[in-house]
């Protein structure tokens, strides 16, 4: 009787050890609706905090034991959690795991346009408001115009002698603003020359005089990229653009 009891204990212990022994399991993750593989799904053994990622074809091979809890997840799919036992696990065959596509309810959707190169942290371009403002309803001074008094009474009637004076004044204002803009452009060009010039370009790149003008135009630096920067920072910019210039 004692011998029989010992045999039963040994058999149970052997079966328990076999169940706990880690074995390689091959599997593939599929979309439950389309049947297509789910690439790069996350495979996690929850009770052991071990895992891996599936291949681009949804396949994986992982050492597991009966009793482990397997969790499979992927973006756009509901997470699958399954406990491994002898009824649903066959280590000798490729196991198939199907994920259900997830449905997300959105409160609202806002669509907006992004400008070109929005992800580059570029300085804003310098702008100059020349201040030219045209009246919403220009007066025709060639015809008599009545200017009302502040008291509400009929005002003074002015004929078209102010027509030429009004045009001349507007032209002077516009020319004055354009003159300011041109002076600003010349001042900024001189400022750029102090930081980015042929002498510096030659010293950094040893470029030939025949193509230096073409290269400096190719650089196309914004004012904010060079004005106020150190010579070291500008040198790095020049070298980067010179590599691109040589690869054209």
pLDDT per position as a tens digit, 19-45:
457 788 899 999 999 999 999 999 999
Residues written for the chain: 248
Which residue positions in the chain have pLDDT lower than 50? 15, 17-19, 118-121, 132
* pLDDT in the model for residue 72: 93
Helix H, strand E, coil C: the string for 82-134 is EECCCCCCCCCCCEEEEECECCCCCCCCCCCCCCCCCCCCCCCCCCCCCCCCC
Place of tokens 């370009």: 201
User: What is the distance between the alpha carbons of residues 138 and 195, in angstroms, rounded to a whole number?
Assistant: 46
User: What is the distance between the alpha carbons of residues 47 and 208, in angstroms, rounded to a whole number?
Assistant: 67
User: Which has the closest alpha carbon to 176: 188, 168, 164?
Assistant: 168
* pLDDT in the model for residue 17: 46
* pLDDT in the model for residue 144: 62
Yes or no: say if 23 and 63 are a contact pair by the CB < 8 Å rule: yes
* pLDDT in the model for residue 118: 46
Could you give phi then psi for residue 112, rounded to 5 degrees? -140, 155
* pLDDT in the model for residue 19: 47
* Contacts made by residues 129-137, CB under 8 angstroms, sequence distance 24+: 130/177, 130/178, 130/180, 130/181, 131/177, 132/173, 132/174, 132/177
Mean pLDDT of the chain: 77
Q: Whole-prediction pTM value?
A: 0.38
* pLDDT in the model for residue 47: 87
């Amino acid at each position: 009787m004692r011998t029989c009891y010992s045999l039963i204990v040994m058999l149970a212990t052997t079966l328990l050890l076999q169940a706990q022994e880690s074995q390689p399991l091959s599997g593939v993750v599929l979309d439950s609706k389309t049947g297509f593989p789910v690439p790069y799904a996350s495979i996690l053994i929850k009770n052991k905090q071990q895992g891996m990622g599936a291949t681009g074809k949804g396949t994986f091979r992982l050492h597991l034991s009966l009793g482990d809890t397997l969790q499979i997840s992927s973006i756009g799919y509901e997470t699958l959690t399954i406990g491994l036992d002898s009824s649903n696990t066959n280590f000798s065959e490729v196991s198939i795991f199907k994920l259900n596509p997830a449905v997300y309810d959105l409160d609202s959707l806002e669509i907006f346009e992004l400008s070109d190169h929005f992800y580059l942290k570029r300085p804003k371009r310098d702008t100059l408001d020349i201040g030219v403002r045209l009246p919403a309803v220009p007066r025709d001074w060639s015809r008599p115009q009545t200017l009302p008094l502040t008291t509400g009474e009929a005002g003074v009637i002015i004929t078209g002698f102010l027509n030429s004076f009004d045009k001349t004044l507007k032209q002077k204002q516009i020319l004055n603003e354009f003159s300011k803009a041109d002076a600003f452009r010349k001042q900024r060009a001189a400022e750029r020359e102090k930081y980015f010039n042929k002498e510096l370009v030659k010293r950094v790149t040893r470029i030939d005089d025949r193509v230096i003008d073409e290269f400096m135009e190719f650089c196309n630096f914004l004012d904010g990229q060079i004005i106020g920067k150190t010579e070291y920072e500008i040198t790095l910019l020049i070298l980067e653009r010179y590599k691109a210039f040589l690869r054209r």
